[in-house]
Amino acid sequence: MGAVVTLFQQMLGGAGALNMFLRQQGMGTWDVMTDPATFTYLVTAQAVWKEAGWGIIVFLAAIAAINPNLYEASAVDGAGRWRRTWHITLPGMRGVIVLMLVLRLGNALTVGFEQLLIQRDKVGRDAAEVLDTFAFYYGVVNNNFSYGAAAGLFKGILSLILIYAANKLAHAFGEDGLYRK
Amino acid sequence: MSTPRPVWEEKPTPAGQAGKGIVLFLVLAAVLVPVYSVVVTSLSDQASINLAGGMVLVPHNLTFESYRQIFSNDLILHSMVVSGMVTLVGTALSMVVTVLCAYGLSRRGSFGHRTILMLLVVTMFFSGGIIPTFIVVSALGGYDNYWSLILPSAISVFNIIVMRGFFMNTAQDLIGSARIDGAGEWRILWSVVLPISRPVVAVITLFYAVGYWNAFFNALLYLPDNGKWPLQMIVYTYTLLGNPTPGTGVTSGQLAGGQALAPLSIQMAVVTLTLIPILVVYPFVQRHFVKGMLIGAIKG
């Protein structure tokens, strides 16, 4: 994650490629890396940039597992590209999509802990403090163990609730999720 | 792909082809340009960095000076040794534990396998948080000790479950016939199960190795002394040193003889060094990805 943040810093930071271009064009600079207003978008973009390759591999595997005869049959019945995508590819990968969603939701509150830890000081606490960084700075750095432990436990319980809800959602879609109904 | 286009599939329209090409090109550029820029900047001298006003995109007067400086810096050299050793020892340890655990859990009727699996899965979705982990690891002597970089993250339950899924989905009849031929559990695991599980073993070895190589939080938590830091921790400190914020309480070590801000090309050279091993290993394991993950994670 350190490398990813550095790459973004070099592209979008105050001395990065984006602001070099803006300066050359005589426009005002915009240091994306330290702007609290857009920080949530920045974090999302970094996570997508880093994780997209892995997601592509998993979904590619799911698509490759779909029986090609289904495509042929629907093409013979007159379905075009988009209808085949909608009626065969997407239902065929539904199980994998739901499983990935459940796994993601369980991790949602971690929100890329290292990523936020690295960048917290640059954008300020108001924009970048999450439960984990709070537990780390309050508990470990400031030696306030009981308070930090409470924050960590709180996060654990919330995650558990999220997982449970995500599994309910998976069952509503008729999928197994993490465990069977 | 290599398969010919089936007759029932429509011919692609030129507009569709162009659109596909543009989207793929943009995605490729978004991935490659930053990496390229980091590598080129790491090879540039200070003059061309000043000329470019920051990141260098057009190579100009390339020099290996920053790498020479890195390799003559004891702190960075030592951190590379630490990272390498942690990755090697950690990955080996993790694989031994994961394979044994997954094999045991994949045999139906092995002692307590349902209970053990439940206990493992619980840790995947619930944890007490950073502080209890810190207290436990410190109490066990992990504070200021290299083992704290390996042992707290030695087992990934997700990887065990993927591998167990793979083991369960293959070779039940092979295992049966090996048993009839008189092979014991160790022999079956080593001579039957592992050889046919090459894809999943390769993928999970890579996961562990990349995990150990990229980890810095354990170092931040348990290693107060920068003489023991791994390479990623050096990168982290550089990031902090480049943008110092007083009063955060995070220990920021001194690099390159106490200079406050290391030149950009050296920073980029360190980042490049963290990227190289992963870029070198990935292509060899990539062909196993689809098979290893498909059978293990999705069907399992």
Q: Tell me if B94 sits within 8 A of B155, measured CB to CB.
A: yes
The CATH number covering residue B195 comes to 1.10.3720.10
Judge whether B153 lies within some domain: yes
Same domain, residue pair B31 and B133: no
Cβ count within 10 A of residue B47: 10
pLDDT at B293: 61
For this complex, say whether ipTM is above 0.90. Answer: no
Q: How near does any CA of chain B get to the CA of A127, in Å?
A: 16
Same domain, residue pair B126 and B273: yes
Same domain, residue pair B241 and B168: yes
Cα–Cα distance, B62 to A57 (Å, whole number): 36
B242: confidence class by pLDDT, cuts 50, 70, 90: low
Same domain, residue pair B148 and B170: yes
User: Last residue of some domain: B64, B94, B118?
Assistant: B64
Q: Tell me if A16 sits within 8 A of B54, measured CB to CB.
A: yes
Q: Determine the average pLDDT of the residues in B40-48.
A: 80
Judge whether B97 lies within some domain: yes
Most A-contacting residue of B27, B41, B125, B231 (CB-CB within 10 A), to test interface = B125
B279 touches chain A (CB under 8 A): no
Cα–Cα distance, B15 to B226 (Å, whole number): 56
User: Last residue of some domain: B40, B64, B88?
Assistant: B64
Q: What percent of chain A has pLDDT over 90?
A: 3
User: Last residue of some domain: B64, B88, B120?
Assistant: B64
pLDDT at B243: 40
Same domain, residue pair B161 and B116: yes
Give the distance, in angstroms, between the CA of residue B201 and the centroid of all CA atoms in the same chain.
Answer: 15
The DSSP line for chain B is --SPPPTTSPPPPHHHHHHHHHHHHHHHHHHHHHHHHHHHHHTS-HHHHHHHTSS--S--S---HHHHHHHT-HHHHHHHHHHHHHHHHHHHHHHHHHHHHHHHHHSTT-TTHHHHHHHHHHHHH----HHHHHHHHHHTT-TTSGGGGTGGGS--HHHHHHHHHHHHHS-HHHHHHHHHTT--HHHHIIIIIHHHTHHHHHHHHHHHHHHHHH--HHHHHH---GGG--HHHHHHHHHHHHS--TT--------TTT-SS--HHHHHHHHHHHHHHHHHHHHHHHHHHHHHHIIIII--
Judge whether B138 lies within some domain: yes
Same domain, residue pair B167 and B199: yes
Which has the closest alpha carbon to B227: B248, B255, B246?
B255
Residues sharing a CB contact under 8 Å with residue B288, sequence separation 6 or more, in sequence order = B198, B199, B200, B202, B203
Judge whether B300 lies within some domain: no
Same domain, residue pair B57 and B83: no
Residues A121, B245: C-beta atoms closer than 8 Å: yes
Same domain, residue pair B25 and B96: no
Q: Is the pLDDT of residue B131 over 80?
A: yes
Which has the closest alpha carbon to B265: B93, B99, B60?
B60
Q: What percent of chain B has pLDDT over 70?
A: 85
Same domain, residue pair B59 and B195: no
Range of weakest confidence among B66-75, B137-146, B215-224? B66-75
Residues B243, A121: C-beta atoms closer than 8 Å: yes
Judge whether B2 lies within some domain: no
Same domain, residue pair B129 and B225: yes
Q: Determine the average pLDDT of the residues in B126-144.
A: 86
Query: What are φ and ψ of residue B252, in 5° steps?
Result: -115, 115
Q: Is the pLDDT of residue A9 over 80?
A: no
Q: A21: burial class by Cβ within 10 Å (0-12, 13-18, 19+)?
A: exposed
Q: What total number of domains does chain B contain?
A: 2
B34 touches chain A (CB under 8 A): yes
B197: confidence class by pLDDT, cuts 50, 70, 90: confident
A143: confidence class by pLDDT, cuts 50, 70, 90: confident
Q: Determine the average pLDDT of the residues in B83-108.
A: 93
B254: confidence class by pLDDT, cuts 50, 70, 90: very low
Which of A72, A118, A153 is the closest to B239 by Cβ? Answer: A118
Residues A159, B125: C-beta atoms closer than 8 Å: yes
pLDDT at B89: 95
Residues B235, A2: C-beta atoms closer than 8 Å: yes
Q: Tell me if A110 sits within 8 A of B102, measured CB to CB.
A: no
Domain carrying residue B30:
21-64
Judge whether B8 lies within some domain: no
As a whole number, the mean pLDDT across chain B is: 80
Q: Determine the average pLDDT of the residues in A34-46.
A: 84
Write the pLDDT tens digit of every residue in A71-114. Answer: 889 888 888 888 999 999 999 888 888 878 877 777 777 777 87
pLDDT at B267: 79
pLDDT at B247: 30
Contacting B residues, span 61-120, partner chain A, CB-CB under 8 Å: none
Contacts of B275 in chain A (CB under 8 A): 3
As a whole number, the mean pLDDT across chain A is: 81
Same domain, residue pair B47 and B95: no
Chain A residue at shortest CA distance from B129: A152
pLDDT at B58: 76
Judge whether B125 lies within some domain: yes
pLDDT at B173: 82
- Residue with more model confidence, B290 or B85: B85
Contacts of A132 in chain B (CB under 8 A): 129-130
pTM of the complete model beyond 0.90: no
Range of weakest confidence among A39-48, A134-143, B1-10? B1-10
Same domain, residue pair B51 and B196: no
Most A-contacting residue of B31, B136, B270, B298 (CB-CB within 10 A), to test interface = B298
Judge whether B14 lies within some domain: no
